[in-house]
Structure 1
Amino acid sequence: MRVTQGMLATNSLRHLSQSYSNMGKYQDQLATGKKINRPSDDPVVAIKGMYYRTNLTEVEQYKRNLSEAYQWMESSESGIEHATQVIQRVRELVVKGNTGTNSPEDLKAIGVEIGQLKEDLANVANTQVAGRYIFNGTKTDSAPVTIDDSGISVDMNTAAFNVEVSNGVKLKVNINPTNVFGSELFNTLQSIEDALNSGSIESGDEFLSKIDEHFDVMSAERSEIGARYNRLEMIDTRIQDQEIIASRILSENEDADIERVITDLTIQESIHRASLAVSSKIIQPSLMDFLR
């Protein structure tokens, strides 16, 4: 086959163009730190990257859900603890008023404090997290306890408020509010307050028995949310492990090996310089060179 000067020049230019393309690829990898910059560079890596990135996005969403679950549970546990302290104080006041040594004025003073504690419980029952009432089940847009001139009224929703904390796993993050701030508790406190304000407390032992019952129910509810909180921490640990694994897999799939890229770029630059040197000798001759 006859090889002409034009063929040599065309092939040299084609190879130089390919050399420039290879150098550009390595320079892009070095600049971005990624193996590919467009799906056409390596479709397999691109498809796997989409799948791995989707997994990582799901894990990040579960972490945000976990943060919300922590807020609900911690706020709920804090509300139960506060209610427990209030009930303990109420019990102390009832014991004090049941001694039989208090004057009617003393009993009324105790009744005033009971009334303040009752209103404090109502305010705790209306606790909000991020603008949502956490002690009203799924009706998070309305207050479960209403305080007005006629007294305290309770309208609580007891449905479970679930948060998805893992793939297919939903965890209840609220409590049964009636076990802590139910109408029976407020009725008991109102009965105690009325008895004290009347200047006598004849049913002191009965009141103490009811207070103890409320206290036991609160303690049981606190134990239940504590158990769910422990499970939440275990799920959180597993989600963190999944995030580390997903990030590592995504990095292995997409991130370039910088040391290898630098080596390949250096080799390609050497090849390119050699190609330029050879091409200059091939393309340099002209018709005048042959005529000489």
Structure 2
Amino acid sequence: MKATQGTTYRMLGSRLNNLTSQLEELRKIGATGKKVNKPSDDPASIRPILNTRKQLSNVDRYMETMGQSLDKMQATDGHLEHVENIMQRVKEISLNAVNGSLNNEDRSVLADEIVNLRKELLDAANGKVDGKYLFSGYEESTIPFVENPAYDPLLYDKTDHTTWPYLYQGDDNPTLLEITPGEKLQVNLTGNDLFFGTSTWNPTPPPNNAVDPGRYDLFSVLTQAEEAIRANDPAAMQTSIADLDGASDQNRRLRSQLGNRASRVDTAMTHQEAVRIDLKQILSRYEDADAIESFNNIVQQETAFQAALSITGKVSQLSILDYI
């Protein structure tokens, strides 16, 4: 009889242990919302789960990088808008000065305003985002533009950048953003592009590394507008007005190019977000537990556990006298 009772105890104890383990697993599923919490839960699902998670990680990386690039492009556009406003104001000043009715004091006031606007242009050219210069190419820690200590208006040569009033210290390297696997897009403008017009007008470089005469150095354009007004030189003023139009065109063209690229990045982000949603749905089908089903399973398991616990308690109260 002792052997029979001992066997019963062992069977009931084993049953309780199994029910306890199963209840713990169900409660873990209920707490995490995941039906696969470790490889042994569903070995067949582990590989697709890991692959999907890797794809999600790649998408998140694309999204983060594109978001950062788009922020910089939007900041760049803000600087280009300010540059456009500066060029427009200098043109208004030049048109006012060229009519010939101003005295020396009036012209001096207008010329001084252009000096201040040129300082604003320099601030825009040396603009930063997150502590990094926007227009230095790869040289993000190097200030792009500084005054040329050797500048002399009498020696100015439009085709020789060493005679210009400001010098560019960055490089011409484009910042390329991978928006999809294998597809890259330039997302920056260098100072040479924007303020010196290096690649704006003529797709075919001039021979012998000469400076393209069809481009505009924005700093020189403003400097010459100021000098023409101070000298009360109508012909020079007319030339500076034409140059201001060309420089404004140069800025607008680059701003348009940047806007098109920003739109492309935004479209790529929208696509990646759609891919991200699809991947999360795929992952959910492998991993996620049905909340109602999980609750019902826990209730059923707890009921079975309580019943087994009750039976075990009753059996443990039996003694040898109950069988005599």
Instruction: Assess same fold via TM > 0.5.
Output: yes
Between the aligned residues of both structures, percent identity stands at 27
- The question of whether the paired residues in 2 share the 8 Å contact of 1:132 and 1:141 is answered with yes
The answer to whether the aligner puts 1:232 opposite 2:265 as a matched pair is yes
Query: What are the superposed Cα offsets for residues 154-185 of structure 1, whole Å, 9 maximum, x if unpaired?
Result: 21422211233444443322124334312722
Q: TM-score, normalised by structure 1?
A: 0.86
Q: TM-score, normalised by structure 2?
A: 0.78
Query: What are the superposed Cα offsets for residues 248-287 of structure 1, whole Å, 9 maximum, x if unpaired?
Result: 2333322221211222222223333444455566666544
> How many angstroms does 1:127 deviate by?
0.6
The amino acid of 2:110's aligned partner reads I
- The question of whether the paired residues in 1 share the 8 Å contact of 2:148 and 2:167 is answered with no
The answer to whether the aligner puts 1:153 opposite 2:166 as a matched pair is yes
Indicate the residue corresponding to 1:37 in structure 2: 37
Alpha-carbon distance in 2 for matches of 1:188, 1:143: 21
Query: What are the superposed Cα offsets for residues 102-124 of structure 1, whole Å, 9 maximum, x if unpaired?
Result: 23333222221221111111111
* Compared CA separation, residues 273 and 188, structure 1 to 2 (3 A): closer
Query: What are the superposed Cα offsets for residues 12-43 of structure 1, whole Å, 9 maximum, x if unpaired?
Result: 32222212211221122223322243333333
* Compared CA separation, residues 218 and 115, structure 1 to 2 (3 A): same
Indicate the residue corresponding to 2:204 in structure 1: none
Alpha-carbon distance in 1 for matches of 2:147, 2:267: 40
Indicate the residue corresponding to 1:173 in structure 2: 187
> How many angstroms does 1:147 deviate by?
4.0
Indicate the residue corresponding to 2:286 in structure 1: 253
Alpha-carbon distance in 1 for matches of 2:103, 2:311: 115
- The question of whether the paired residues in 2 share the 8 Å contact of 1:84 and 1:218 is answered with yes
- The question of whether the paired residues in 1 share the 8 Å contact of 2:228 and 2:237 is answered with no
* Compared CA separation, residues 145 and 70, structure 1 to 2 (3 A): same
Q: Structure 2 unaligned runs (5+)?
A: 152-164, 197-215
Indicate the residue corresponding to 2:27 in structure 1: 27
Partner of 2:166, secondary structure, is strand
The answer to whether the aligner puts 1:101 opposite 2:101 as a matched pair is yes
> How many angstroms does 1:148 deviate by?
7.7
> How many angstroms does 1:52 deviate by?
2.8
Deviates more, 1:92-101 or 1:218-227: 92-101
Partner of 2:221, secondary structure, is helix
Alpha-carbon distance in 2 for matches of 1:180, 1:92: 22
Partner of 2:177, secondary structure, is strand
> How many angstroms does 1:231 deviate by?
0.9
Partner of 2:217, secondary structure, is helix
> How many angstroms does 1:93 deviate by?
1.6
* Compared CA separation, residues 109 and 276, structure 1 to 2 (3 A): closer
Partner of 1:163, secondary structure, is strand
Q: Tell me how many residue pairs correspond in the alignment.
A: 289
- The question of whether the paired residues in 2 share the 8 Å contact of 1:122 and 1:147 is answered with no
